[in-house]
Structure 1
Amino acid sequence: MTTKLLICLGAFAVAAHCLADDRADIKAEITKRHDEAVQRLHDWIAQVSIAAENRGYPEGAEYMVKLAHDAGFQKADVITTDGKPGVFATLDAGAPKTVGLYFIYDVKQFDPAEWSSSPTDAQIVDKAPLGKVIVGRGAVNQKGPESAFLAALHTINGAGKKMPVNLVMVAEGEEEIGSPHIPQLVRRPEVLEALKKCVGVFMPSATQDLDGIVTVNLSGAHAPDEYYVIESANPKIQSFDGAVMSFVEYLYELAK
């Protein structure tokens, strides 16, 4: 995870509707708060939550609440489920539109022996040809991009600006095991009521290719909750793919 680039990227993505003068103020604030933002990501990586190992709960959810409050969310609460707890947070900027955010605070398991440096230390190392990068579990998936978004909120607040939209955040701690209890989280009356006000929901994500091209994703795929069984009336093995391809084409047309 390259550090300064994604912090800047997050700030400019959030402030896309601000005036040019506002962006200039925000850009200056980015430089001022760079080290603070890197330290925030460093500390978050050190707070490990792994659902498959029952590790880091409820501490991970409580830390997510702190991060939300620090970034300017007026309300942030731990929401219990039959599994790992989630977090529900809202930021009211007095804006006419509201945007939903999907965060995850859990990470996948890891074997420290397979890492070039400790996956929980978030060390900054030189990695050719990228330059200085943060190495740690969650630096890319998903704490790095989420930290960039939080850094953007800190930057906008620090510049004395207001968000152009209100925010509703739902953060879960079981994404890496398929989100078995997220329905309990998002169907809580207060959470569902807030989400219904959103014009859309996105998952902060950003990457940079080796050639410097930056990609910002405004949505993210999720583990599927259903599967399909396809049966063919034609017993001939050389024709079995027809049933599959017909079904794929049907789904494609349905999704268009």
Structure 2
Amino acid sequence: MTRLHRLLSAGLVVAALTQPAVAQTPNRAELEKAVAARHGVTVKALQDWIALPTIAAERRNVAEGAAYMVRLAQEAGFVNAKVVPTDGLPGVFGTIDVGAPVTMGVYFMYDVKQFDPAEWTSPPLEARIVDRPGEGKAIVGRGSVNQKGPEMAFLAALHALKAAGRRPPVNIVLVAEGEEEIASPNFHQIVQNPEVMAALKRTAGVFIPFNAQDRDGSAGVNLGAKGAVELQLIVGGETSNRYPKSDTHSSSHARIANPAWRLVKALDTLVADDGYTAAVDGWMENVKPLTARQRELVEQLSKRGSEADAKKASGGVGRWLGDDDYRSSIERLISRPTINIQGLVSGYSGPGGKTVLPSRAEAKIDLRLVPDQTRDEVVAKLRAHLAKHGFDDVKVNVSGGYGPNQTDENAPLIRAQKAVLDRWKIPYVINPRLAGSWPGVVFTGPPLGLPAGQIGIGRGGGAHAPDEWFLIESSDPKVAGMKEQTLLYVDLMYELAKQGRR
């Protein structure tokens, strides 16, 4: 089949898209009509959700965001959905129990990244629908693709089932958090809640709704993701009496230490002279090498898409680290842990000069981890490294984080995903590990030991950046819009009901 869908004036999803899955999803035409009939309602619901941002870093709309997530879940069929408190921002938990033999776990995040409206061409909370040349109609707004758009598509699948007068073919457990964008410091508390833990133990796996199509229409199946730790390194009057308590005149540097210089010196010890190889003692000792199968998958990934497109999507970079070729850069992306400086903050940065000696310097750091590294291990090694090099005046403030996750490609959740993509005739590659991060380790690690992954089709972009967008109607026959993504989740439920019986 050469087309995923055609756009009809009536707005219906056509047989060219849906024919392959009919055998697994009974009376599917009925569901297609339900999805199409609710499309306008679904888009409006997404726009309304974008208009209420929960921003963990700013503690913005904490209670409101959780309450709204409960409402969305209840309307979709999680009638018992409720807020789960933590030491930080709350989460949400709910179940749909239809007495099915198989249970599906779904992870949501309802928080979004910060934004500066001045950097956007379309107001970040208005969720305007814009034309993207060559792609179709997209919603532009903070959280549209990361992750409210894909999550709304999954909720729309539940609404479509209800509108068609039927129940899901699987039981469903929903867990949602409001702190993913600050590295999920308290999400483990939600999962460790006895009621939540008992429900998750019955699942065949947990997935996060996701956009996973490239411009050429091909999709990706991710078998894991790197872990992430967010922290700050701080030097100043609050960490040692050798620095001033408040900014002072720069002439004082003749007899007073500058915390910015001290921080720069500390940062320089964390990496080798090449500027990227981690130099923290013991940093690589628990890094698990790629298997032969994972290297085979890297080779397949290197033949997907184009290197030029990958560089464009990576901020317009001109060359990779170490002047790597494309394949080597992908292997590095998947297999190497990193120590990254997100930002440096100190002193005066306005127009002209101010001739001050700053009282404080801070580096915002993120660490990306691979199997078999853990959050506690790398934080301990970082602290020990700074102490060994005499930086006792550098404060390490860990604000969140978790380890990497990995899932076997033969797990029922992954088999179901691949089976649906095969029936839709969507070409895909298997990615051994996503370079980005999500807290899937709370599911894949002990005590649950569940499969986990990101599942979906369709497109979007600009996560964490200005003009974030999510494709709702595709003009490209190779790429799915929101209706198609919704139908894929319907098919996934039926396929997992088959694959997950055990």
**TM-score range for the pair, normalised by the shorter chain length:** 0.7 to 0.9
Q: CA deviation at 1:23?
A: 1.1
Give, in whole Å, the separation in 2 of the partners of 1:219 and 1:67: 29
- Give secondary structure in 2 for the equivalent of 1:26: helix
Q: 1:63 to 1:222 in 2, by over 3 A?
A: farther
Give, in whole Å, the separation in 2 of the partners of 1:156 and 1:31: 12
Query: Which among 204, 211, 228 is matched to residue 209 of structure 2?
Result: 204
1:252 aligns with 2:290: yes
- Give secondary structure in 2 for the equivalent of 1:134: strand
Q: CA deviation at 1:19?
A: 4.6
Query: Which among 19, 25, 29 is matched to residue 30 of structure 2?
Result: 25
Q: CA deviation at 1:49?
A: 0.2
Query: Which among 215, 219, 223 is matched to residue 219 of structure 2?
Result: 215
Structure 2 segments unaligned to the other structure (5+ residues)? 1-5, 8-12, 231-272, 292-371, 373-405, 409-502
Q: 1:20 to 1:104 in 2, by over 3 A?
A: closer
Q: 1:84 to 1:63 in 2, by over 3 A?
A: same
Structure 1 segments unaligned to the other structure (5+ residues)? 227-236
Q: 2:213·2:220 contact (CA, 8 Å) conserved in 1?
A: no
Partner of 2:98: 93
Give, in whole Å, the separation in 1 of the partners of 2:66 and 2:220: 26
Query: Which among 224, 239, 255 is matched to residue 228 of structure 2?
Result: 224
After superposition, residues 23-172 of structure 1 pair within 5 angstroms as 23-172=28-177
Give, in whole Å, the separation in 2 of the partners of 1:92 and 1:181: 27
1:173 aligns with 2:211: no
Give, in whole Å, the separation in 2 of the partners of 1:222 and 1:61: 27
After superposition, residues 237-248 of structure 1 pair within 5 angstroms as 248=287
Query: Which among 193, 200, 217 is matched to residue 198 of structure 2?
Result: 193
Deviation track 1:103-157 (CA, whole Å, cap 9, x = no partner) reads 0000000111111101101000112121211000111100000000001110111
Give, in whole Å, the separation in 1 of the partners of 2:225 and 2:285: 23
Q: 1:188 to 1:93 in 2, by over 3 A?
A: same
| Matched AA of 2:199 | A
- Give secondary structure in 2 for the equivalent of 1:141: helix
- Give secondary structure in 2 for the equivalent of 1:58: helix
Q: CA deviation at 1:178?
A: 0.3
Q: 1:165 to 1:124 in 2, by over 3 A?
A: same
Deviates more, 1:169-178 or 1:73-82: 73-82
Give, in whole Å, the separation in 2 of the partners of 1:17 and 1:96: 22
Give, in whole Å, the separation in 2 of the partners of 1:197 and 1:225: 29
Q: 1:205·1:218 contact (CA, 8 Å) conserved in 2?
A: no
Q: 1:84 to 1:50 in 2, by over 3 A?
A: same
Q: CA deviation at 1:246?
A: 8.0
Q: 1:95·1:164 contact (CA, 8 Å) conserved in 2?
A: yes
Deviates more, 1:125-134 or 1:139-148: 125-134
State TM-score, norm by structure 1.
0.81
Structure ranking higher in helix proportion: 1
- Give secondary structure in 1 for the equivalent of 2:115: coil
Q: 2:22·2:28 contact (CA, 8 Å) conserved in 1?
A: no
Give the percent of matched residue pairs that are identical in Structure 1 and Structure 2: 52
- Give secondary structure in 1 for the equivalent of 2:215: coil
Q: CA deviation at 1:17?
A: 8.7
- Give secondary structure in 1 for the equivalent of 2:188: helix
- Give secondary structure in 2 for the equivalent of 1:142: helix
Deviation track 1:211-235 (CA, whole Å, cap 9, x = no partner) reads 3x15365776364369xxxxxxxxx
Give, in whole Å, the separation in 2 of the partners of 1:76 and 1:17: 32
Deviation track 1:69-114 (CA, whole Å, cap 9, x = no partner) reads 0001121000111100000010112211111111000000011111
| Matched AA of 2:290 | Y
| Matched AA of 1:215 | A
Give, in whole Å, the separation in 2 of the partners of 1:53 and 1:34: 33
Q: 1:121 to 1:220 in 2, by over 3 A?
A: farther
Q: 1:218 to 1:24 in 2, by over 3 A?
A: farther
Q: CA deviation at 1:208?
A: 3.6
Give, in whole Å, the separation in 2 of the partners of 1:120 and 1:154: 25
| Matched AA of 1:123 | R
Q: From the CA coordinates, give the structure whose radius of gyration is larger.
A: 2
Q: CA deviation at 1:252?
A: 3.0
Give, in whole Å, the separation in 1 of the partners of 2:188 and 2:26: 42
Q: 1:171 to 1:218 in 2, by over 3 A?
A: farther
- Give secondary structure in 2 for the equivalent of 1:221: strand
| Matched AA of 1:119 | P
Q: 2:111·2:179 contact (CA, 8 Å) conserved in 1?
A: yes
Give, in whole Å, the separation in 1 of the partners of 2:90 and 2:76: 20
